[in-house]
Structure 1
Amino acid sequence: MTSNAAESFNNVTEEFRKYPITTLVEFTRFTLQNWFADRLENASKCTTPLATTFEKDLKAQHEDGRFRTVYRNGAQLFNVGTGPEGQRGGDVDLVERTCTCRMFQLLKIPCPHACAAAISQNASLYALSSPYYTKDTWKKTYDATINVVDEEDDWVLPEHIKNMRVGVPVDKKPVGRPRKSNAGRKSMKRRPSNGQVVVEPRHCTNCGGSGHNRATCKARV
């Protein structure tokens, strides 16, 4: 949904982007290897049905919705009233997993209105949450193994890779009108425009140098 992940990783690799590509690739592998191992360990320690972050979100939604008034409007349709601090109400469909606040559809986790409706029907809030937020999915995401790359002499390459030859990059024609070259053009002393102040460089009368005068000249007399 955003480019935050790419920008964060660019920030991590900023120092190593000035090194050869092989060093950068090795650093990327090492970084991902450590990240996967740390996240897999955190997922294994999780004791709740949902991952830690989403478990906290669901508890917050449950706390917001448990004091709301619920009016049944059909088999699985409910009108949920405003919250204790004046938060807006919503219409919930537990079968389609929708709410007029649209939080239920977008985040795939019960909103306060859906939590209130589910509580009134003794329905499980975990069953209404997306399976992508579960602890098992969290563990499977980081269960992959990133192995160390062997020495280059031990690589087994397919024939079509061995015979591949990388050509010279094709120069792309720049967009727009080409700039004219000023090579060979004689420099002309232009008259200053009206109101333009022309600053002439200072010349030392002692040594003949520019940028200073006789008083500040450091040349030996």
Structure 2
Amino acid sequence: MKLKSKCPEAAHVLENVHDFEKWSQAHFPGNRYDVMTTNIAESLNSILMDERKYPVSYIFNLIARKFSEKFRERHAFVDGKENICVPYAKRILRDSKSASDSLYMSNPNGVLNQYTVFGNGVTAKVNLLKRIYSCRKFDLVKMSCEHVMAALQAKYGDGEGYGNSIYEYSSLIYKAESYLLAYSKAINVVPPEAE
């Protein structure tokens, strides 16, 4: 809105000439630069602030030790639970599930896997078979949004199939098994300089 009021020509070009996928992260088909976080370098710099005056091998060993500690913590946190998904993902899915309760479903063509979801001023099309969701939240966070939850409830009802399907329509990166595998690798230390 600010761009439209300050520079209407630029807003017109962005809206009508260029595709949204080229300039809007919300419409980009995937993760930008194949990373989910944008500031990992700054996070690492803050951890290593005091160690910059030491030799490089010391810094690498410190990095290995810090990552090993984090890996052990995260592995133990998820391993001790009986979860299909990691706790953070489970919380997001629970919120999406409760938000889906206020949405209205329509299946105009009678096709089992295609739904139109209305509510909160948004109309979203959901294709469960192709995993295409017009709200694009899945493309950004790789988790089932409230529109998908409403479509799954329409498809499966409130039974066990609905509860299990919620996790199937989220990315494998949020599954507890994937998480445990990611944090099960050993991190080797740098050998002494003489070696």
Global fold match (TM > 0.5): yes
Which of 25, 33, 47 is matched with 1:12 structurally?
A: 47
Q: Is the counterpart of residue 30 in structure 1 residue 65 in structure 2?
A: yes
What secondary structure, in the 3-state scheme, does the structure 2 residue paired with 1:73 have? coil
Q: Percent identity?
A: 25
Of 82, 93, 102, which residue of structure 1 is paired with 2:136? 102
Instruction: Give the letter for the 2:130 counterpart.
Output: E
1:16 positional shift: 0.2
SS in 1 for 2:168: coil
Q: Which has the larger radius of gyration?
A: 1
Contact 2:60 2:189 in 1 (8 A): no
CA distance in 2, matches of 1:55, 1:152: 46
Structure 1 gaps of 5+ residues are 156-221
Structure 2: 5+ residue stretches without partners: 1-34, 157-161
Relative to structure 2, which stretch is displaced further, 23-32 or 8-17? 23-32
Determine the structure 1 residue equivalent to 2:184.
143
Q: Quick one: which of 94, 99, 104 aligns to 1:64?
A: 99
The one-character-per-residue Cα deviations of 1:158-200 (angstroms, maximum 9, x if unpaired) are: xxxxxxxxxxxxxxxxxxxxxxxxxxxxxxxxxxxxxxxxxxx
| Mapped pair 1:79 → 2:116 | yes
TM-score, L = length of structure 1: 0.63
Amino acid at match of 1:44: D
Give the root-mean-square deviation of aligned CA atoms. Answer: 1.8
Partner amino acid for 1:145?
A
Whichever residue aligns with residue 78 of structure 2, its letter is A
- The residue type paired with residue 108 of structure 1 is K
Give the number of equivalent residue pairs: 151
Aligned pairs for 1:1-221 (under 5 A) are 1=35, 2-74=37-109, 75=111, 76-82=113-119, 86-122=120-156, 123=162, 124-148=165-189, 155=195
1:12 Cα deviation after fit: 0.3
Structure having the higher helix fraction is 2
Provide TM-score, normalisation by structure 2. Answer: 0.71
